[in-house]
Structures are given as structure tokens and as C-alpha cells.
Amino acid sequence: MSDPSSATPAPDLAGLKTRQMAAWSSGDYAIIGTTLQIVGESLCGAVDLRGGERVLDVASGNGNASLAAARRFAEVTSTDYVPALLERGRARAEANRLPITFKVADAEALPFEDGAFDVVLSTFGVMFTPDQDRAAAEMRRVCRPGGRIGLANWTPAGFVGQLFKLLGGFLPPPAGVRSPALWGTEERLRQLFPNATVTATPRHFQFRYRSPTHWLEVFRGYYGPVHKAFQALDPEAQGRLEQEILALLGRCDRGGGAGLVVPSEYLEVVVRPGATH
């Protein structure tokens, strides 16, 4: 008989969520998010979005997928649990004269009725939820039968997946917590969306910056997870982390010395849920 005291304790998902909210609220993700706009445009094409459809953008950040859907004349609701990011999305929508509804909401407890949306989207957002199964279940719940769920998720082997693995070597995640990068694997997606048709297509987003040091300057200043990692480390560890990130950028750079060009693999995912949730 096994010793109960030796069992791995359940992860503190609520505590992790609080820390994640602090991370994504730090820096200014909108500076990074704006550069990723093309991913939202591509995803709206992948789900074959139609004018007039009801669209929910989950963990929308500063609204890339929201704006892309609104440009296609969908009825868009943009949600995130960081109010400041929604305000950035609202400013972008107003500048583009796009009608979008913005609402503070937790991806693990969406405040909408069952089947309220024709299409549910998330670009590099829902993948970071602590309780992956609950977040996926919520997306399935609010998507009508016959609707589509569209996702863009970084893969474990891609540049961003390697970056998060590197960060985890300096600041290990709590025991029992699943890696966000699992959302970038077909195996995990089929677990999260059972009884659904899942189509996952590898894509590459090209990070384009002046140099590796420029990328590091921007991400250290504005990208919550990197920003908070540096804040949490002592000066010696900060120096080691900086050198390892620069080395990773150097290995991945395809710019040939004329500016930094780093391809980062992600999965463009279209989920077609079954008739029941």
C-alpha cells in the first residue's frame, strides 16, 4: 500500500493564476502583442469566418484576433482578465472605427450562456491558463454545436517554447502544473477537445527586431513573463539568463546579420465540436 504522505500535492492553481495575472499586468504586453497581428488575421481565415457571426475572443490581450474578426464584419466580444490590455484593444478598435464589445472575463469561468457564440478564438492566450481542462471546457461550452474554435498556440519545439523552457530552468513552475506549450501539441489538443474534429497546421511567426539585444530589451521591458523573471532573480542570475536568451536568439536567428529574424513555430488550430458538450 502506498504511503499517502508521499503523494504529490495538488498544485495551487488559484495561487498560480494570481501570480500569472501579476505577470501579464506587468510590463506592457500590448507592445509585443501589436507585432503579432498577422496571426489573428490568419486565424480568422483558417476558421472561415463569415460576416454577421457572433465571435468571442478569449484571453484577447490587446485584441489582435478581435480586430481581425471585426474587420470581417463579425459581431465581436473581446475578453481578458487584465483590464489594462482591454483598454489598449479598445483604443485600437476606436482608431479603426470597429465596433467591438470589451468585457473583463476569466477564461476559466466565461460569463456567457451555453452556445452563445458561433466562433470562439484565442491567439497565444488561453494556452497560459493554469487549469487547462477547465478553460477548454469553457470554450466548448460557449461555442454553439456546429460552430468553430480557432486557436494559435506556441509549440514546445519552437522558439517561444524553448524560451519558456529556458525560463523554467531559472524559475521552475510549481509541481503538477502542465506546461502551456502542451497546447501546441496535437495529442494534448485532442485530450482538451474530445469528440471534436481537430485540425492543427504548423505555422511560423517571424520575430523581426533590430538585433538580439533589441529583442531582449523589448521583451525584458514589456513581456510579462520575461519581465517578471528578471525581477525575481539576483544580479548574477540575471546576467546568466541574459546570456542564455541571447545565445538562444543567436541559434535561431535567420537574419544573416541584417536585423534579427527569428521564426517561431505555432499551431494554427481549428476545432469543430460535436453536437454535445
Q: Kindly report each contact of residues 37-40 with a partner whose C-beta sits within 8 Å and lies 24 or more positions away, as own/partner.
A: 37/64, 37/67, 37/68, 38/205, 39/64, 39/65, 39/123, 39/124, 39/152, 39/203, 39/205, 39/266, 40/64, 40/65, 40/66, 40/67, 40/68, 40/69, 40/121, 40/123, 40/152
Instruction: Report the distance separating Cα 1 and Cα 63, nearest Å.
Output: 52
Banded model confidence at residue 2, pLDDT cuts 50, 70, 90: very low
Asked, for residue 67, whether it belongs to a domain, the answer is yes
On the question of pLDDT at 213 being above 90, the answer is yes
**Residue with the larger pLDDT of the pair 177 and 85:** 85
Give the pLDDT mean for 58-74: 97
How many domains are contained in the chain? 1
Asked if the model's pLDDT at residue 275 lies above 70, the reply is no
Average pLDDT over residues 178-198: 96
Q: What is the pLDDT of residue 35?
A: 96
At 133, the amino acid letter reads D
Supply the pLDDT for residue 23: 65
18 versus 143: which is more confidently predicted? Answer: 143
Report if residue 252 sits inside a domain.
Answer: no
| Within a domain: 18 | yes
Reported as a pLDDT band with limits 50, 70 and 90, residue 103 is very high
In which band, very low, low, confident or very high, does the pLDDT at 174 lie, cut at 50, 70 and 90? confident
In a domain, residue 188? The reply is yes
Domain that holds residue 179: 13-164+173-208+265-273
- What proportion of the chain, given as a percentage, has pLDDT over 70? 91
User: Could you give the CA distance from residue 27 to residue 19 in angstroms, rounded to a whole number?
Assistant: 14
In Å, what is the CA distance from 44 to each residue of 47, 57, 135, 233, 270?
A: 5, 11, 21, 39, 10
Q: Could you tell me the pLDDT band of residue 26, with boundaries at 50, 70 and 90?
A: low
Tell me the average pLDDT across 6-29.
66
27 within domain boundaries? yes
pTM of the predicted model as reported, rounded to 2 decimal places: 0.91
Whether residue 160 is contained in a domain is answered as: yes
Please tell me the predicted confidence (pLDDT) of residue 9. 60
| CA nearest neighbour of 47 among 188, 182, 146, 137 | 146
Cβ atoms of 154 and 127 within 8 Å: the answer is: yes
Rounded percentage of the chain residues whose pLDDT exceeds 90:
83
In-domain check, residue 5:
no
Q: For residue 196, give the CATH number of its domain.
A: 3.40.50.150
CB 231 within 8 A of CB 27: no
Q: Residue 150 falls within a domain, yes or no? A: yes
Contact 11, 176 (CB under 8 A): yes
Q: Residue 29 has what pLDDT?
A: 87
pLDDT band at 276 (very low <50, low <70, confident <90, very high): very low
For the chain, the first-to-last Cα distance in angstroms comes to 38
